[in-house]
Structures are given as structure tokens and as C-alpha cells.
Amino acid sequence: MAFHETTEKLTPHSGAKGKPRRRLAAAVLAVSLAMAPLAVAPAANAATETPGTGTILKLALTGDIDSLNPFKAILASSTSILGLEYQSLVAYGPKNNEEIPGMADKWETSPDGKVWTFHMPKDRKWSDGEPITAKDAEWTFKAIQTNDALKQANGGLLESVASVQATDDETLILTLNEPQAPNPGTQLPIMPAHIWSKVPDPATFTNEKDSVGSGPFVISNYDKTSGVTLKANPNYWQGKAKIAGITYVPYKNTDAAVQALKTGEIDIVSSLTPAQYNALKNVDGITTNAGAGRRYQAIGINPGTQTHDGTPMGDGNPALHDLKVRQAIVMAIDNKTLLEKVMQGLGQPATGEVPAAYPLYHWDTKDLPLKYNVTAANALLDEAGYAKGSDGIRVDKQGAPLKLRLMGRNTDPTHQQMADYIKPWLKEIGIDVSTVMKSSAQVNDDSTVGNFDLYFTGWGMGPDPDFQLSINTCASRPNADGTGATSENNFCDPAYDAIYKAQHVELDQTKRSALVSQAQEMIHKSAVNDVMYYANSLEAYRSDKFAPFTTQPELGGVITSQNGPWSFYYATPMADVSSTNATSGGFNAAFVVVPLVIVLLAGGGFVLYRRRRTTSDERE
Amino acid sequence: MSASQLVGAETAKDLDEPGRGTSWLRYVAMKAGGSLFSLVMVVLLGFFAFRILPGDPVRSLADGRQVTAEQMDILRKQYGLDQPVIAQFWRYLTDLFRGNLGDSYTYNRPVMELILDRLGPTLLLTGTAAALSVVLGLWLGQRTAWRRGSMFDKAHTGIALTLWSVPTFWLGLLMLLIFGGTLHWFPTGGMVTAGSTATGLAYVWDVARHLTLPMLTMVAVVYAQYLMVMRASLLEEMSADYLVTARAKGLREDQVRRKHAVPNALLPTVTLIFLTLGGLIGGAVTVETVFSWPGLGYLTFQALSAPDFPLLQGTFVVFSSIVIIMNFFADILYRVLDPRLRTA
């Protein structure tokens, strides 16, 4: 209504009738010129919407692509895409993350666990039709071993490999520096030697177009603006996938990706927050999935950080050197409530580092030694000689009040939420906690060199626990400047190191599983890393377009970020659903807004141009 | 953002003081010298400021992965991070003089290439948004000033200032939710339909559809500054004697405004436009993130999280250079436009 009044007031001023009319005519001309090409555009657009035949699965690409070169790619989104194109010698199955044939159909270990022989079947082909042989695997291993520039992504996987040899096209022999139980054929993507050995510099090869691989899908194109497209590999040894391809659509925030799922622009979205997950629960045509997570959430407790040679460093509170104080802290934290309140119940209660999603190595106990028990925690502190002062805060051995700092990341809102619960809980056992949220990089720096008392931490994990256990050995502690090895939480116990070594070489699965559980129990009892819960991976997909996806593990597992290509390889489009494009139907506001903008710009330009001319006329 | 830009408007007004009476050559040389000095400072700051940031780039690259200490040492050597800071600085300087911004740690590609790849989309978004908000702001600015105190004036300054105060990401998400998610009028993100192989006009149309929401969000947030400056400078002119003369000549009110008042009022506004253009590119970061626009904003964000020193230095030098060059143009343009300075 404000506009109504203004038009009345406008009229007396717009006196010069001739000129506005000319301007209007020019504007109309500009519009029609601008509209002319656009009017024919939609028809052309419709033709390009179905490239080839068959259904394309569209995923939200919420992370960034650093590189699609398997020697270089580090970021999770890149490696998960490359996991669809390149196989390892040994794969992890959809059922339970168990080891299953990948490029090799069988393998054996020498009795001492030092020599691993892989057999590669001879009838398999790369996506371009060239045969896959053991020479490809040999080339890949050797390329990384002999060229530092190619070590960036997977160099760590080859540390234990002394030599590699393809004795013929079907046999690959890996000789290790020392015996080991973890299969050295998992994880490392094997690349086609006939392509990569001819590339002038494999380290700078982008591998972004019509790439050749052995997995169920191969990259056909990557463009920063339109995303990554993959097409089904007809030569994949288990048969061609039911879908024609996959497109990763770049979305830089999950809120937008959720909207895109609703409009049908994408078919799957992952990394949802509990709020987004719950909002999508009852939407027609969308099914949500809370898969067992591969990540633990913990509180690190500074036991007195030391360098790898045992020199103390950092500014952790000395009271935490006392095992009983650390244990009391673990017992005062109610993990169940955190899981219920902060994660809205979307997760599993934790025991040790290995999540329940990996049942082979998960420490499955109903009776945690340091389970939630405030009375016992208080008793433990009394017994250790930390008397409560008049204000209810305990006094440390030097007579000062027991005050601890709790550090979290300002990039993760759950850290502040958890801190708000933990602060009063620790007050109940007489510990005064101050919380501080910092940038991720600052938390990394501070935690590495021990500048903290308590901090929120967590690790995502692959199916084999060896690496996670290895970063709890004494040798994993860093240098004084924070360089050197990586430690989970500066734990060091020679007894633990012995158990780590024992499981590292134990070829018997049952015995190794027991040792891994034992190792986790030791870390738990030492109270340096209080594992609180395993958060679920929250995902949602268009169930009106796709049949339920294969999850990993089969029961209660995840769809995206699997250890293997299974969910997408087995993806089945709903037969009766034609791929309707939600955006193409109905009124398209772009037809109005885009030309309107052009008119405004053209009009503005025109007016400015006229103004410039008239004023210069006047000057002269 | 608002404060610095409004300060920019103030300084723009003072620009004529040193300029008056000096020769063209001296004026340009002086301004160029100033810009060059700023550029040198940016180059120095670009190196040292980011070294203060927390985080070890090599450790972040290794984060959560199976990487041994030896491999981290190899990476440090590869990136030159094992050298003393002064040696690293020398390498940065000599490379910069050769037009080489170094290689990104994360992307393993030359920083220059990464920036050029993403500069286009950012320029398209900020360019169209700037053009539209300038046209809209100036037009509404002179209308509101001419009818100061009317409903039209109150309504438009009210709307503009409200939008100006709204957080960009919030407005963007709201637009996305309403026009993308609920009404399905526009795509929910990106610059082109993913996987589309459209070329020619179909491609242009596709980009235009994707551009609409982010551009309108940017326009909504920034046009107020042009409106307010235009309005303020026109109000200043409105009491001037020469308008009385113009009216006395028998000119119609519309002509008085368009031919006499507005050209004079445009002077500070044009300067402001150039001053803000550089800032707009930096300000696009939020809009780019909300609408998944493949521009420089997200690249900078990714660079910060590592921290990826060469990429950070590169984006910083490029962003700052754009602002400095734009300011230089503003200085020059001001002198070109103001007939009083020109004839002096």
C-alpha cells in the first residue's frame, strides 16, 4: 500500500512525457532482445537432461575435492569417489567389514607372517578392455616406494613392505620387513600400469577425464562447477552396475543439500545433523538411515604429556598425573545422558576405541570398569587424599583448589553442548571446570604438545584396528616441537606396547580379536581417553526413486562412506518411477526474474548513457 | 563491513583536498605510489600474518590417516617448511616476482591456476550483483531524496536499511528455503546443473537460473549503501543556489533534478561504488557458501582450515590487490568526473 501512495506522488513530477516514452520503448526492445535466445533455451535444456540411458544416482558432494589422482588425494570426498573406481587386492565386504576378494581372488601368508602371496585371476579387464595383471599391482607398489612425490596419499600403507614382485601375470609376492597380521593387500588402490607408466609425471596427472579403473564405476569427468560424473564400468568383474552412473553434485552446506533432496535435485545426502535428520524423517518419498558410525567421541585427559624420549612437556594440571583423579573424572561423566541429550539418542554407547560397527575388534563388554558412578568417583578422590574445601571444591596436593580446563572446537556445536553437561557433573566430585572453545587448528596444536587438561577428541576408523592401536604406543609420542610421530593421547605403557606387538603378528583371528579387546581395556583403565559414544552417520535418500540401499554392516550400517563400493554398486532404481525432474515442472520463476534483471540492468545502462551524453552536451 | 565502507565514503569526500591545483601527472604518480606502498605491505603481511596462525599444515594433511613421522618429514621438505622462515620468505618473494604464487599443499596444483579457475564465477556473481545494486540504489536514492519525508522515502529507506542489517547467510538460507526448497522455482545451489552437458544458450540459461538467488541475496544486502549515499549527497545539493537558478530559467522539476542536481550528487557516489567493488568480492564468501557457488570464497575457507600457506598467501594477495586497484581507480575517476578539478 505504500507503493500506491507513492505512485500518486510520482505523477506530478514525471512531466516530460516524450522522453520516458522513448526510454520505455528502448527498454522493451532490450527485453525482447534478451528474451529471444532464452525462449528457445528450455527446449535445448530438456534434451540434455538425460545423458545416455538408465538412471543416474545423484549425491551431494558436501566436502571438497583436493585431487582425483589416487597418489595425491587425501580429503574424504575424493578418496570415497576413488574407492568406486580403484580396487585393492583385498576388499572389505558389505556384510560385516570382513576381508573378501578384491582384485586378488585368493591369498596366503607364510607361517611367520612375513611373505604374502596374492593370486590374481587372469580373465579380468580394466575399464578400457586391457587385461588386469599382477604387473599392475607391482607397478603401483613400486611407483610409491621409489618416488617420494607419490607417497602423499598412501605412503604410510607401504612402510612395512620390504619388496614386491610379480612372479608372473597372476602372482604377486609381498615380502614384509617384519611379520604382521593386518593384510597388506587392503586399502592401497591398484592402478592401471599401462596408463600411469606412460604419464610424464604421475604426481601431477589430474586423472579428471575418461579415467581408467577396475571398480564398478569410473570417472568420466570432473568440473569444479558441475561436479564429478562417473559411469558404470562394463568390465567390472562382478558385472555391470544396475545404474548407469553417479553424479556428485557440489553443495557447500548440508542445509542446501537437504533442500535439494526435497526437490529431487539429489538422491542421497549424508552427514546430517540430528535436527536435519529428524526433520526429514516424515517427508514423503524420503527414507532416513542412522547407520552405525565409524568414529568414536572421547574426552582426552592429559596424563602428563611427554616427548618420545620421556621429557615432560605442556601445561597440563599435575593433579592429572594421578591415575585415581583421571579415573574419577571418567566415572563422573554420564555418557548415556550425553548420547541422549546431545546426540538425541542417535548413536551407540561406547566401550573402547573400536566402534561397534566393527564387531570383530570391538571390545564388547556390558560391565565397564570405569562406568558412571558418582559415589565411587567421590570415594576414589577421598581415598587419594583430595579433601573437599568449604566451597565443595577439592584441594590438590599443593593446597590449591582443583581447577581444570576443558577445551573443545568452536567448529563443532556438540562440544559446547557436552561441556555444559560435564561442568556441573565434575563439580559434583569437587572439580571446578572452565571451558574454552578454540579453532580446530589451535586444538590440534595444543593437544599435540600437551597444553590442555581435558579436551574433546575423536577418531574415524577403518576395519583394521592396527593403526589406531599403534598410536597409543610409547614410540608414537611426538617431538618437543610437535613434529614427529602422532599419538592418540600421549599414552605410554610398556605392558601395552607388548600387547600391541602381540596382536600385530597374531595370525589367528580369535586370538588377535581378544588381544585387541585387551589393549582397549588397558587404555580405558588408564583413563587417558574416555570414549563416550559412537555417533551414528545420519543419511537420507529418495526412496521413491531407489530401492533400499545395501548397508555396511548389513544390519544397521551406513550407505555412504562405506569401506567399499557396495551401496552404490548394488543400487537399484525403482522400476516404475520415471526420472521426473522436480524443477522442470510447474511455474518457473526464472522466466520472470532473469529477464527482469536484464531489463533493470539494460535500463540502468541506458539512463546512465543518456545522462552522460546530455551533461556533456550541456558543457559544450 | 558496513563501518569500513561508510568510512570509505568519508575519505572519498576528502580526496579533492590534496588533488586540487596539482598537476595530473603528479596526482596520478602520488596515488600510484600510495597504491604501490599498500601492495608491498600486503605482500609482506601476506607472508608473515599467516605464519602466526595456529596449526601445522603437514599434521592437518595427515589428520586421521595412517602417516608415519618419516613421511611427514618428507612433506615438510617438499613444502620447504623445514627451512628457516627467512629462507621461506625469500623463496616466496622471488617466486612472486616471477608471477608464481607457489603450489597449494591441499590441491597439489599451482595457486595461480586454482584462483583463476574460481575467479570467473566470483566475478560473475559479484559483477551482476554490484551492477544491479548500483542501478537500484542510485535510482531509489535520488527518488527518495527528491521526495524526502514522503511515504515513498520512508518505505524505501526503511526496507533498504532492514535488508542491510540482516545477516547475509540467514537471508540466503531463507531465500533458498522458500524459493528453492519449498516453491521449487530455482535450483538449490551450484552454478550449472550437475552432470549437464549443455552448451551455448542452454548453458547461459542454466547459469542464469542458478545465479538468480545468490545474486538477489547479495543485491538485497548491499544496495542500501548506494541508496543512502546517493540520497545524502542529493539532499546536500538540493539547497544549492544553482538549483534556484535552474528553476528560475523555467526548467521543469524533473529536468532540474536530472540535469543539475543528480550529476553533482553522483560524484561522491561513483567514488564509493569503486571503493566497495573490491570489498564485494571478499563479501561474496558467505553467499557463495550458502548457494554452493563455485567461487573463490570456498577456496579461501579450505585454505584456512589446513592452513595451506601458499593458497592463503595467494588469495590474500589477489583479494587485496583488487581492493587496492579499485581504490586507485576511484581516486583517478574522482578527478576525471569532477569538472572543478579538471579545469583547475
Q: Give me the pLDDT at residue A35, please.
A: 39
The CA distance from B142 to B262, in Å, is 7
Model pLDDT for residues A34-90, shown as the tens digit of each residue? 433 333 333 333 333 343 458 999 999 988 889 999 999 988 889 999 999 999 999
C-alpha cell of residue A189: 588402490
Using CA atoms, how far residue B106 sits from A67, A206, B129, in Å, is 8, 14, 31
Instruction: Give, as one character, the DSSP assignment of residue B176.
Output: I
Mean pLDDT calculated for residue range B136-152: 91
Q: Decide if A245 is inside a domain.
A: no
Q: Flag whether residue A33 sits within 8 Å of chain B, measured between CB atoms.
A: no
Q: Flag whether residue A131 sits within 8 Å of chain B, measured between CB atoms.
A: no
| Residues in Cβ contact with B295 at an 8 Å cutoff, skipping those fewer than 6 apart | B118, B119, B121, B122, B125, B284, B288
The CA distance from A99 to A95, in Å, is 10
| ipTM surpasses 0.85 | no
Domain span at residue A428? 296-535
Model pLDDT for residues B215-233, shown as the tens digit of each residue? 999 999 999 989 999 999 8
Mean pLDDT calculated for residue range B20-40: 85
Q: Give me the pLDDT at residue A437, please.
A: 96
Q: What is chain A's mean pLDDT, rounded?
A: 86
Question: Is the pLDDT higher at B27 or at A473?
Answer: A473
* Count of CB pairs separated by less than 8 Å, A with B: 266
Model pLDDT for residues B294-319, shown as the tens digit of each residue? 888 878 877 887 789 999 999 888 88
| Co-location of A585 and A507 in the same domain | no
Q: Decide if A231 is inside a domain.
A: no
Instruction: Tell me which residue of B57, B117, B105 sits closest to B311, measured CA to CA.
Output: B105
Contact A523, A472 (CB under 8 A): yes
The 3-state DSSP class for residue A389 equals: coil
Which residue(s) pair with A268 in the sheet? A59, A541
The CA distance from A551 to A556, in Å, is 7
A6–B152 CB contact, under 8 Å: yes
| Co-location of A117 and A170 in the same domain | yes
A151–B71 CB contact, under 8 Å: yes
Closest residue, chain B, to A603 (C-alpha): B135
Q: What is the CATH number of the domain that holds A403?
A: 3.10.105.10
Give the residue carrying C-alpha cell 604501490.
B36
Q: Give me the pLDDT at residue A215, please.
A: 97
A583–B206 CB contact, under 8 Å: no
Closest residue, chain A, to B104 (C-alpha): A66
Q: Flag whether residue A581 sits within 8 Å of chain B, measured between CB atoms.
A: no
| Co-location of A424 and A559 in the same domain | no
Q: Decide if A95 is inside a domain.
A: yes
Q: What is chain B's mean pLDDT, rounded?
A: 84
- Closest CB to B107 among A66, A151, A611: A66
Q: Decide if A545 is inside a domain.
A: yes
Is B11 a residue whose pLDDT tops 80? no
Final residue of a structural domain among A511, A535, A559: A535
C-alpha cell of residue B217: 541475496
Q: Decide if A175 is inside a domain.
A: yes
Q: Decide if A284 is inside a domain.
A: no
| Co-location of A480 and A559 in the same domain | no
Instruction: Give, as one character, the DSSP assignment of residue A221.
Output: E
Final residue of a structural domain among A479, A502, A535: A535
B55–A441 CB contact, under 8 Å: yes
Q: Give me the pLDDT at residue A589, please.
A: 63
- First-to-last alpha carbon distance for chain A, in angstroms, is 45
Sheet holding A347-349, edge to edge: A347-349, A529-535, A295-301, A454-460, A403-409, A432-438
Q: Give me the pLDDT at residue B239, please.
A: 83
A162's enclosing H/E stretch is strand A161-168
Q: Which of B111, B122, B135 to mutate to test the interface with A (most CBs of A within 10 A)?
A: B135
Work out the minimum CA distance from A122 to partner chain B, whole angstroms. Answer: 32
Q: Give me the pLDDT at residue A510, please.
A: 95
- Please identify among residues 454-473 of chain A the ones whose CB lies closer than 8 Å to any CB of chain B: 459-460, 467
B53–A441 CB contact, under 8 Å: yes
The 3-state DSSP class for residue A247 equals: strand
Q: Flag whether residue A145 sits within 8 Å of chain B, measured between CB atoms.
A: no
- Please identify among residues 146-185 of chain A the ones whose CB lies closer than 8 Å to any CB of chain B: 148-149, 151-152, 155-157, 159
- Closest CB to B188 among A10, A265, A605: A265
C-alpha cell of residue A596: 527482469
Model pLDDT for residues A246-275, shown as the tens digit of each residue? 999 999 888 999 999 999 999 999 999 999
The CA distance from A499 to A474, in Å, is 12
Q: Decide if A7 is inside a domain.
A: no
Q: Decide if A290 is inside a domain.
A: no
A225: chain B residues, CB-CB within 8 Å: 121, 190-192, 294
Work out the minimum CA distance from B61 to partner chain A, whole angstroms. Answer: 7
- Closest CB to A2 among B56, B155, B298: B155
Q: Flag whether residue A283 sits within 8 Å of chain B, measured between CB atoms.
A: no
Q: What is the CATH number of the domain that holds A194?
A: 3.90.76.10
Q: Give me the pLDDT at residue A613, please.
A: 57
Q: Flag whether residue A10 sits within 8 Å of chain B, measured between CB atoms.
A: yes
A230's enclosing H/E stretch is strand A227-232
C-alpha cell of residue A502: 602381540
Q: Which of B52, B58, B67 to mutate to test the interface with A (most CBs of A within 10 A)?
A: B67
Instruction: Give, as one character, the DSSP assignment of residue A156.
Output: G
Mean pLDDT calculated for residue range B165-186: 91
Question: Is the pLDDT higher at A464 or at B260?
Answer: A464
- Please identify among residues 200-239 of chain A the ones whose CB lies closer than 8 Å to any CB of chain B: 203-204, 224-227, 229
Q: Give me the pLDDT at residue B61, please.
A: 80
Q: Give me the pLDDT at residue B27, please.
A: 85
Q: Which of A225, A410, A471, A474 to mutate to test the interface with B (most CBs of B within 10 A)?
A: A225
Domain count, chain A: 2
CATH of domain B111-343: 1.10.3720.10
- Please identify among residues 474-513 of chain A the ones whose CB lies closer than 8 Å to any CB of chain B: 482-486
Work out the minimum CA distance from B263 to partner chain A, whole angstroms. Answer: 8
| Co-location of A379 and A519 in the same domain | yes
Q: Flag whether residue A600 sits within 8 Å of chain B, measured between CB atoms.
A: yes
A148: chain B residues, CB-CB within 8 Å: 74, 78
Work out the minimum CA distance from B26 to partner chain A, whole angstroms. Answer: 26
Work out the minimum CA distance from A461 to partner chain B, whole angstroms. Answer: 8
Q: Give me the pLDDT at residue A15, please.
A: 35
Instruction: Tell me which residue of B235, B255, B256 sits closest to B244, measured CA to CA.
Output: B256
Stretches in chain A below the pLDDT threshold 50: 1-52, 576-586, 616-620
Final residue of a structural domain among A503, A535, A567: A535
Q: Give me the pLDDT at residue A420, please.
A: 97
A5: chain B residues, CB-CB within 8 Å: 151-152
A600–B78 CB contact, under 8 Å: no
A485–B291 CB contact, under 8 Å: no
